[in-house]
Structure 1
Amino acid sequence: MPFVRIDALGTDGERLDALGRAVHDALVETIGVPPDDRFQVLTGHDGVTSTLRYDDYLGVPRDAGIVYVAITMRAGRPPERKRALYRRIAELAEAYAGTEPRNVFVTVTENAPIDWSLGYGEAQYAAPDAAEPSPAP
């Protein structure tokens, strides 16, 4: 159950949709996310009222085609699966949205099952804990 945020500079709805599909397809292919498990926030920045900042850190030349992808997911994937995910996102972002791989900046934040509520105010992934106190009346 990844939660994905994508921010892109100087983009329109079509490109945002393509980037969202690229990330989702990569998650399905590389780490086994179910195809119907898509939760994304896609934001385009116009460079005037909202913008993105970037430099050429670690010798990667970035430009106005920058795309930030932030993925929050439960912990437990091995490093090789994450590397495959990063590669596949960059490949598909180029194929679907014309984004150069050098401009695809991805972060993954991991957490525990208790850190998710998918609706109804419940922690669906967390095992019930008999030691939890009952809510006050």
Structure 2
Amino acid sequence: MPFVRIDALGTGTARLDALGQAVHDALVETLGVPPDDRFQVLTGHDGVTSTLRYDDHLGIPKDGSVVFVAITMRSGRPPELKRALYRRIAELVHERTGTEPRNVVVTVTENTCVDWSFGDGEAQYAPAGAEPDGALR
């Protein structure tokens, strides 16, 4: 169950929706996330009341169409799957929004079963008195 935050500059509803769908589709295609397993926060920044700051780190120039994608997910996926995910996100974002792949910044933060609650104040993947479910979602 990845939790995704997407922040983008100068973004209307249509672009935010396309960004969210592109990231979700990449998660489904590369990591096998179930299609109905979507939890996203999509935020557009107008550059005045809210904005994003970025530089050309590692010699990769960014411009006003920069997109930050932060994914929190359960640990255990190998590096090659993460690399495939980054690549697919950049491809789909470019295909669906015209955003150059150099403007797509992706971070992954991993955690464990007990770090999730889906409601009711419960840790559904790690209930009290039970061994935590180790399956990736």
User: TM-score scaled to structure 2, two decimals?
Assistant: 0.93
Q: Is 1:73 the equivalent of 2:73?
A: yes
- How far, CA to CA, are the matches of 1:2 and 1:108 in structure 2? 10
Question: What do the CA deviations read for 1:20-50 (whole angstroms, capped 9, x no partner)?
Answer: 0000000000001000000000000000000
What does residue 135 of structure 1 align with? none
- How far, CA to CA, are the matches of 1:84 and 1:129 in structure 2? 37
- How far, CA to CA, are the matches of 1:64 and 1:48 in structure 2? 13
Q: State the superposition RMSD in angstroms.
A: 0.9
What does residue 12 of structure 1 align with? 12
What does residue 44 of structure 1 align with? 44
Runs of 5+ unmatched residues, structure 1: 131-137
- How far, CA to CA, are the matches of 1:116 and 1:64 in structure 2? 34
| Residue aligned with 2:16, SS | helix
Structure 2 residue identity aligned to 1:29: E
| Number of residue pairs the alignment of both structures matches | 130
Q: Is 1:119 the equivalent of 2:103?
A: no
User: TM-score scaled to structure 1, two decimals?
Assistant: 0.93
| Residue aligned with 1:94, SS | helix
- How is 1:24-63 mapped onto 2 (pairs within 5 angstroms)? 24-63=24-63
Structure 1 residue identity aligned to 2:31: I
- How far, CA to CA, are the matches of 1:17 and 1:29 in structure 2? 18
Whichever of the two has the greater Rg, that structure is 1
Runs of 5+ unmatched residues, structure 2: 131-137
CA drift at 1:124:
0.9
Question: What do the CA deviations read for 1:66-120 (whole angstroms, capped 9, x no partner)?
Answer: 0000000000000000000000000000011111100000000000000000111
| Residue aligned with 2:62, SS | coil
CA drift at 1:126:
1.2
What does residue 96 of structure 1 align with? 96
- How far, CA to CA, are the matches of 1:99 and 1:38 in structure 2? 22
- How far, CA to CA, are the matches of 1:20 and 1:61 in structure 2? 23
What does residue 135 of structure 2 align with? none
